[in-house]
Amino acid sequence: MNYEMITILGPTACGKTALAARLCHQIVGEVISADSRMVYRGMTIGSGKDLDDYIVDGEQVPYHIIDIADAGYRFNVYEFQCAFQNAYMDITARGKVPVMCGGTGLYIESVLKSYELGAVRFPERRSLTIGVKIDRELRREKITRRLKERLKNGMIEEVEELLKHLTPERLIRYGLEYKYVTLYLTGELSYDEMFRQLEIAIHQFAKRQMTWFRGMEERRGIPIHWIDATLPMEEKTEKIIRLWKDGE
Helix (H, G, I), strand (E, B) or coil at 162: helix
CA distance 66 to 228: 26
Q: How confident is the model at residue 117 (pLDDT cuts 50, 70, 90)?
A: confident
Give the residue-averaged pLDDT of 40-69. Answer: 97
Helix (H, G, I), strand (E, B) or coil at 241: helix
- Please list the residue range(s) of the chain that carry CATH number 3.40.50.300: 5-135+208-246
Alpha helices (H) in the chain, listed in sequence order: 16-27, 77-93, 105-112, 136-152, 155-162, 168-172, 176-185, 191-218, 233-246
Q: Does residue 227 contact residue 133 with C-beta atoms inside 8 Å?
A: yes
Q: How confident is the model at residue 248 (pLDDT cuts 50, 70, 90)?
A: low
Q: What pLDDT sits at residue 1?
A: 60
Q: What pLDDT sits at residue 203?
A: 97
Whole-structure pTM value: 0.95
Backbone torsion region of residue 46, taken as left when φ is above 0, otherwise alpha when ψ lies between -120 and 50, otherwise beta = alpha
Give the residue-averaged pLDDT of 156-172. Answer: 97
Q: What pLDDT sits at residue 120?
A: 72
Which among 225, 237, 238, 234 is positioned nearest to 1, based on CA atoms? 225
Fold of 5-135+208-246: Rossmann fold (3.40.50)
Give the residue-averaged pLDDT of 238-245. Answer: 96
Q: What pLDDT sits at residue 29?
A: 98
Integer CA distances (angstroms), 92 to 28, 32, 67, 97, 246, in order:
11, 12, 22, 6, 20
Give the residue-averaged pLDDT of 49-70. Answer: 97
Q: Is the pLDDT of residue 57 over 70?
A: yes
Q: What is the phi/psi pair of residue 64, to 5°? A: -135, 160
